[in-house]
Chain A
Amino acid sequence: MAGLTVNTNLLRRILVGFVRDEVCKVGVRKGVLGLSGGIDSALVAYIAAEALGPENVYAYCMPYRTSNPESEAHARLVAESLGINFKVIEITPMIDAYFNITPDADNMRRGNKMARERMTILYDHSASVGGLVLGTSNKTELLLGYGTLHGDMASALNPIGDIYKSQVWELSEAMGVPREVIEKKPSADLWAGQTDEQELGFTYREADELLYRMVDQRMSREELIAVGFDAQFIDNVARKVQGSHFKRRLPIIAKVSNRTIDRDFRYARDWGK
């Protein structure tokens, strides 16, 4: 679709430059990321390897016992084709130890716990190797809130947070991400047989077409209906965007002083860099 299709050469330059600049200005040269076997983290690994050199990229695959074995195989494939550092760290013992205490937890709680477990491992390795955690959430997921707050949504910097899933596919093709990874159905792999699109109730392509017009072009509901979007689909997506907004913000602070952090105490994160 017009607008969603991107000049991948230019996009690649900006994103690679972003990782190189924003990592190095902090005074480190390394990047750390979770490699799930899916396309988003694969693309970030490709961007990071080009930006920092493969020897400076540390990728961790962190399966749980119910994870699809194909995920680990794909993560390994990505790591090997790039020549980045790669390690598998099973999270089964930690997760099972916790849920032995509260065995009644449903799939969502278990999934969130796993995502946060992985986050703590990445931040621990960030400290041990001396690198920044690279985020792997794309714009579609971030807008829909399809991620775990303080889990997979946590990072020091995110090169793909302003590109839609459709653009992730397009850029991944251009950067040579293995075909198997590009073509498989997107899945959070939190339980067997889970796919994102099944859980969301629509496809990423559909969501991207709508989100691009709704968010980027600021088309009104009437205009969206006029160009052929289903009213219920529009409302459903709009509700998801609004309902998940808290995930995209820092915690709010009760204001009592004259200078409250982020309200009237405002500095760029790159302050002094």
Chain B
Amino acid sequence: MDFTVALAQIKPKLGCLDDNMALAEAAIEKGIAAGADLVVFPELALTGYFLKDLVPEVALSLDSPQIQRLKKLSERISIAIGFVEVSSDFRFFNSAVYLEAGEIRHVHRKVYLPTYGLFDEQRYMARGERFRAFDTRFGRVGMLICEDMWHLSAPYILAMDGAMTLICLSSSPGRGVTESEGLGSAAAWQKLTSTSAMFLNCRVFYCNRVGYEDGINFWGGSEAISPSGEVTDRGALLEEDFVLAKVDGGALRRERIFSPMMRDENLAITVKELKRIDKEKDC
């Protein structure tokens, strides 16, 4: 099935839930007006990224009025969006929710919380414990949040769980200005998204935010990538953008005929060897 995905490359305000909800709702309406079927937002789109001690103050439970409003909007367009989730036992997660047909279809809690260099996520947030694919009207989908994608096993698990579309919500800080054409962090991500698509014969929708927080820029450059690893659409660098990407449904079928790596992928060998490694590690 052909469909249109909108990548809402927004500039959230740090710690301002109401402003960011308004920003998200405007982007959703824009997507609906443009005939998009799915709108993807960045990681922590409703809160901003360098939250530190603000985490508990901006956290939402899944039954909060904000999520209810998004749920209602998802009757008209499917939505993937990042926020801080608070669980009933008061753990705070860097989460992404996928909403469709007025329902929550899936919540992914970021597993790999970067806590090195300029990152400090694990200080403030709890780690998710699973990667699960889920069914949508676009077929089976897997969600990843930023750093998750840098762990080969994460998109691999999702693909083995049947995902043919990977959605990656990101708040990637721009760094590495050198002699080369692009930003170091952008170049690394572009390799990663394209290679992951190619390895796993999946399409990838990558949405990264823009704006500055305490001098740190977020570089944008959101992308729609075909299952062959080709970038079909890319958002502006360092500026707000709204990317409308037409997705050729047939490309997935053709790619999977042309390079049937996922068909041939041997889960039994992988599981057997990983179990062995895990066992040997215990010794």
Contact = CB atoms under 8 A, between A and B. Distances in A.
Given A21-B212, A271-B54, A14 B238 contact: yes
A267 B51 CA distance: 7
A86 interface: no
A268 B179 contact: no
A10 interface: yes
A272 B14 contact: yes
Please report whether the interface of chain A is mostly helix, strand, loop or mixed according to DSSP: loop
Interface in A107-141: none
B53 A265 contact: yes
Q: Which of B51, B177, B183 has the most CB of A within 10 A?
A: B177
B178 A7 contact: yes
Interface string A1-38: 01101110011011001100110010000000000000
A159 to B, nearest CB: 9
Nearest to B174: A14
A105 to B, nearest CB: 36
A18 B217 contact: yes
B278 interface: no
A261 to B, nearest CB: 11
B214 A268 contact: yes
Q: Which of A10, A18, A21, A267 has the most CB of B within 10 A?
A: A10
A270 interface: yes
B237 to A, nearest CB: 8
Given A7-B177, A11-B177, A271 B217 contact: no
B249 interface: no
Given A7-B177, A10-B177, A11-B177, A18 B213 contact: no
Contact of A2 (B16, B179, B212, B213): B179
A270 B215 CA distance: 9
A149 B152 CA distance: 46
Contact of A272 (B16, B50, B174, B183): B16
B44 to A, nearest CB: 13
Interface of B: 13-16, 50-54, 174, 177-183, 211-215, 217, 237-238
